[in-house]
Amino acid sequence: MASDGKTRRGKVFHMHSVEYKEILQTLPIHRGVKGEAILLIGTNPTEDDTVVIGGETWTFKAAAASTSQVTIGGTVAASIANLVAKINANTALYIYASALATGMKIQYAQTAGGTPKWGTPTSYALSETLTAAADVWIQDNLNAIGQTNHLYETHCDVTATTENIANTFTIPMDFTVTTLRFRMVASDGTPLPSRTAKAEIVAAGVKVTFDNGGDPGVAGDVMHIDAYGSVLL
């Protein structure tokens, strides 16, 4: 009987001759990252320094007189605490702020000032005009340090064998994959950038081809796969 790749939900099977042989264990689904951004504040702000998140501006003052103003504290920590309190009281942005030793972290939230959530419902532009040159946002938009965020993710290592090199196969997923990354390494973890083996998104999940011509994968090579998405099937 001719060889033929077969798939099952959550597992990958390969049929060789008349036998089904499992070549990959069930893939667990993990929650994706919580989008976050960090503002470095190592020096106490001065009068009229500003912090901007998604078009909302907070201005540091000696004594705050409105919801958009932040009282400059006697210490950096006090000023950060005052800024965090004002951001969490804001009702326009679905974010949650928390104080760090030398700055502040914000995350997407279920509600304004509420519980941090997974994924990124929108993109909030970030900027600042703080007196100290080193006091800046570490990225320009609220997301996971510049990465695309997803509600779900899964990761696996697939070892090349004589059997699966000769036949492509599909890893079924329980969510729609929208972002896929893969890399080839030797059994000892040494990168194999010249390998032409590939993984690609297909309707049924992730299709793996070890023999893609050129410099194909060989038995013992390992393909590390990272798959991300936000919609369960």
- E strand or H helix at 25: none
Looking at residue 218, its pLDDT comes to 95
Looking at residue 122, its pLDDT comes to 61
Looking at residue 31, its pLDDT comes to 56
What does the pLDDT look like over 33-77, one tens digit per residue? 567 789 999 999 999 999 999 999 999 999 999 999 999 999 999
* Nearest to 219, CA basis, from 150, 164, 141: 164
What does the pLDDT look like over 47-56, one tens digit per residue? 999 999 999 9
- Give 175 or 152, the one with higher predicted confidence: 175
Which of the 8 DSSP states describes residue 103? E
This model's pTM is above 0.75 = no
pLDDT tier at 124, thresholds 50, 70, 90 = confident
- The answer on pLDDT for 177 being more than 50 is yes
Looking at residue 165, its pLDDT comes to 92
Q: What are phi and psi of 81, to 5 degrees?
A: -60, -40
pLDDT tier at 119, thresholds 50, 70, 90 = low
Longest dimension (CA), the chain: 82
d(CA 69, CA 65): 6
pLDDT tier at 24, thresholds 50, 70, 90 = very low
Which residues fall within 8 angstroms of residue 205, CB to CB, at 6 or more apart? 7, 170, 171, 172, 173, 177
Looking at residue 37, its pLDDT comes to 85
Q: In whole numbers, what is the pLDDT of the chain averaged over residues?
A: 81
d(CA 100, CA 49): 19
d(CA 209, CA 132): 52
Burial of 187 (0-12, 13-18, 19+ CB in 10 A): exposed
Looking at residue 100, its pLDDT comes to 92
- Rounded percentage of the chain residues whose pLDDT exceeds 70: 78
Q: In what order do the strands lie in the sheet with 50-53?
A: 69-71, 56-61, 50-53, 126-129
Which residues, listed in sequence order, are joined to residue 2 by a DSSP beta bridge?
A: none
Reading the block at residue 158, the tokens are 């697939």
Looking at residue 148, its pLDDT comes to 55
Query: Alpha helix (H) ranges present in the chain?
Result: 76-89, 162-166
pLDDT tier at 10, thresholds 50, 70, 90 = very low
Looking at residue 30, its pLDDT comes to 57
- The answer on pLDDT for 193 being more than 80 is yes
d(CA 19, CA 39): 57
